[in-house]
Chains A and B, each alone.
Chain A
């Protein structure tokens, strides 16, 4: 699984840098693709726009999805990902600031695999990132390859 990609959907460059650092500290060496808005995330997943021609069957091992994003919000991205047979099963973990009930409920309604609130304490965040990597990249059995 170490060669499988992680898609990090994050518009805040600080959070991006800290997330990458946390992965490194926890020895998560998977390549990370960063999408800085919802549209870029969908372009990667569906092989459109800047990612035209990408092999869509090569799903990321994990999508880390922020909710508050430019252009297209995280919940809308999640909805479209779950609605498409090619990406329906890709593991999506919401990684966001909010623990508002409305966000939690909406995320689970739309079929998110997990919902993590980014802690302020960086050391805690490193632990969370490590646990995420360990669970989704090592423990979890990936879904079968999508039928095109």
Chain B
């Protein structure tokens, strides 16, 4: 340990400055070792991280910072050898605190040499990265969770797409294949009636007429089911829609179909919304069609379409003075194939309101109803809130 006095002086001086500089540093352990690894200096950060005071550690070998298993396989010596050989050594490793607890440290060793190149010792710069590692592990876990959720979402989307394709294929097959046998039932019943009607009595002819009526009714059911499934399958293309005008057009069509009906219809003007026009039309056709149908026995029949604005929301309504329904059954109102009246009272397949609900849900809205038996029904619906600039 002899060397040029000047260099020794410089090193001492440097150590002094170094001590002053690093003493106050709290979050990093910065200290010096002699060439054998004995601790020469100690800063506040080292005390905080490793738990020794300067008095307790200076002069002791830095091997006490390593876990016993590392000491056993000569790791401290190995670290110094590598640092001396390359000038600098960086590692992440387990370290021991004074109390024996372990922490993960990021450590940089630097070899200190005098101008003649003689090894004078080492500096060690380390900090506790347990918290960072923990955060990294948590982050990694989150990333893992996220990618798993993503995969699940992907599988879900694939499943939904597959289900949609299945529905598509099903609807297509229903559309083509299920109606054909009905045509045969209806057609050949009619053939019997035409060609052999004189050989049948009234009961025989009535039976054939019932077969025909049932076939046609099933045809209607299939058509309604298909339009219900079309509501689910069709793509939404929003546009500016004048609901008032649409309602007036729909009622005009109803009037054309049943010109003998006397129906007073009022539509509030200028109800414009940004929504899918085709789906909206399906909903309004069903709601107004229902109002039209269930005011059948009324004189005068009265139907109104309008909207109430409240707290920036707009609730549309279709109200009539028809037969209404018992609110006790309101829960079944929007279910497919649910009917409130017998076929003899009112025609229908029980799909109209299910279709309305599906449409309004697809348009991001809600639909609800209230009624009093014999005193009319009111159907309300709300669409997805409009963007502010659209108001």
Contacts from A to B (Cβ < 8 Å): 12, 14-15, 18, 21, 67-68, 96-102, 118-123, 125
Residues B183 and A125 in contact, CB atoms below 8 Å apart: yes
Chain B contact residues, majority secondary structure: helix
With A14-B180, A97-B180 known as contacts, the answer to whether A122 contacts B171 (CB < 8 A) is: no
CB distance from A74 to the nearest CB of B (A): 11
* Highest count of chain B CB atoms <10 Å: which of A12, A98, A102, A119: A98
Q: List 12 A-B contacts (CB under 8 A).
A: A14-B184, A14-B187, A18-B188, A68-B176, A97-B179, A98-B172, A98-B176, A99-B175, A118-B183, A120-B216, A120-B218, A122-B187
Chain B positions 186-219 with a Cβ under 8 Å from a chain A Cβ: 186-191, 212, 215-216, 218-219
Residues A121 and B180 in contact, CB atoms below 8 Å apart: no
With A96-B176, A120-B216, A121-B219 known as contacts, the answer to whether A14 contacts B171 (CB < 8 A) is: no
A99 vs B224: C-alpha distance when bound (angstroms): 12
Chain B positions 300-325 with a Cβ under 8 Å from a chain A Cβ: none
Closest 4 CB pairs of A and B: A120-B219, A122-B187, A14-B184, A18-B187
* B9 proximal to A (CB < 8 A): no
* B263 proximal to A (CB < 8 A): no
* B58 proximal to A (CB < 8 A): no
Residues A97 and B175 in contact, CB atoms below 8 Å apart: yes
* Highest count of chain A CB atoms <10 Å: which of B180, B191, B216, B218: B180
B271 proximity list for chain A (CB < 8 A): none
* B177 proximal to A (CB < 8 A): yes
Contacts from B to A (Cβ < 8 Å): 171-172, 175-177, 179-180, 182-184, 186-191, 212, 215-216, 218-219, 226, 230
A82 vs B226: C-alpha distance when bound (angstroms): 31
B226 proximity list for chain A (CB < 8 A): 99-100
With A21-B191, A121-B219, A122-B187 known as contacts, the answer to whether A15 contacts B171 (CB < 8 A) is: no
CB distance from B289 to the nearest CB of A (A): 19
Task: Name A100's contact: one of B171, B187, B215, B219 (CB within 8 Å).
Answer: B171
A100 vs B190: C-alpha distance when bound (angstroms): 27
* Highest count of chain B CB atoms <10 Å: which of A15, A18, A97: A97
Residues B183 and A18 in contact, CB atoms below 8 Å apart: yes
A98 proximity list for chain B (CB < 8 A): 172, 175-176
A97 proximity list for chain B (CB < 8 A): 175-177, 179-180, 183
B171 proximity list for chain A (CB < 8 A): 100
Closest to A21 in B: B191
CB distance from B373 to the nearest CB of A (A): 34
CB distance from B344 to the nearest CB of A (A): 20
Closest to B183 in A: A120
Residues A15 and B180 in contact, CB atoms below 8 Å apart: yes
B175 proximity list for chain A (CB < 8 A): 97-100
B191 proximity list for chain A (CB < 8 A): 18, 21, 122
Residues A120 and B215 in contact, CB atoms below 8 Å apart: yes
A120 proximity list for chain B (CB < 8 A): 179, 182-183, 186, 215-216, 218-219
Given A12-B180, A21-B191, A120-B215: 18 more A-B contacts, CB < 8 Å: A14-B180, A15-B183, A18-B187, A97-B175, A98-B172, A98-B176, A118-B179, A119-B219, A120-B183, A120-B219, A121-B186, A121-B212, A121-B216, A122-B183, A122-B187, A122-B190, A125-B183, A125-B187
A80 vs B176: C-alpha distance when bound (angstroms): 23
B182 proximity list for chain A (CB < 8 A): 120
Residues A14 and B188 in contact, CB atoms below 8 Å apart: yes
Residues A123 and B190 in contact, CB atoms below 8 Å apart: yes
A25 vs B212: C-alpha distance when bound (angstroms): 19
CB distance from A144 to the nearest CB of B (A): 35
Residues B176 and A122 in contact, CB atoms below 8 Å apart: no
A67 vs B179: C-alpha distance when bound (angstroms): 14
Task: Name B186's contact: one of A96, A100, A122 (CB within 8 Å).
Answer: A122
